[in-house]
Structure 1
């Protein structure tokens, strides 16, 4: 059963040394896990935002719009009761994740969202540029 516990090899590698230092200083979770990966694509008059949120239920994901900022947040809730026995190792993390994006050049009334296979996809149409009004001013 002890072969289920991952052990790191002790190598004399400068990269591994600094990586281990970061883990010991910031903890094993690291600050990079508090955000999720996103891709933003400029596609046919709209921006398409794809966010990786694997393991989340659709009900655990929230999209809020506050002024010119769109915030995507998701939360894993930890079960406090251990139903299966004692853990040998527990690597799955529980907590909240959030990212904000500036959407000042997006028509926020027409944003649509879908969630499939752990990927949240938002289609955000660009604002149409208002053409300059041409008018003539009479001299009196």
Structure 2
């Protein structure tokens, strides 16, 4: 493991630089906000940013992954873990592809999210629009109940 992938106890509990320490961090992960390869859910240099939105009926993960090919995504659920993976095609290393300067190169990645029984996994849907992979997950009504108030006597 290189120095970029090491983490302190505080970072692994609450996410990279404190991000992800809200209700979703506990709901979607067993060890901080992300699970999977590396301490933040992927290779350090290729971790794709994700937002998780909650409505009354669904959770939506918006994974920002611009410039990729929709058919190279694979989304799966196994053991109550949702995995979004991208398999980058082998680059065409022809003589014509000589860059004077290059900051972007599509590469493979994987992000995983622990669902903790909160989602109806048979009804998950996904779409890739304008560089954002949107995964919609209907809530499981049996496990998503509002908090109840307890009267103190």
TM-score category, normalised to shorter length = 0.5 to 0.7
2:77 aligns with one of 51, 65, 68:
65
Q: 2:59 aligns with which of 33, 47, 58?
A: 47
Cα distance between partner residues in 1 of 2:95 and 2:74: 28
With normalisation by structure 1, the TM-score equals: 0.64
Q: Given that residues 34 and 98 in structure 1 are in contact (C-alpha distance below 8 angstroms), is that contact kept between their aligned partners in structure 2?
A: no
Q: Give the drift of 1:100.
A: 0.2
- Runs of 4 or more off by more than 6 Å in structure 1? none
Between stretches 92-101 and 112-121, larger displacement belongs to: 92-101
- Closer, same or farther in 2 for the Cα pair 1:123/1:94, shift >3 Å? closer
Task: Tell me which of 130, 134, 151 is aligned to 1:117.
Answer: 130
Q: Note if contact 2:53-2:59 (Cα within 8 Å) is conserved in structure 1.
A: yes
Question: Aligned residues, how many?
Answer: 101
2-structure distance, mates of 1:126, 1:87: 46
Instruction: For 2:99 and 2:51, locate their aligned partners in 1 and report how far apart those are by CA, in whole Å.
Output: 36
* C-alpha contact (below 8 Å) 1:75/1:94 kept by paired residues: no
TM-score by length of 2: 0.59
RMSD between aligned alpha carbons?
A: 2.1
Q: Distance in 1 between matches of 2:81 and 2:140?
A: 15
- Structure 1: segments with no counterpart, 5+ residues: 1-21, 23-30, 131-140
Runs of 5+ unmatched residues, structure 2: 5-42, 144-153
Task: Work out which of the two has the higher radius of gyration on C-alpha atoms and give 1 or 2.
Answer: 1
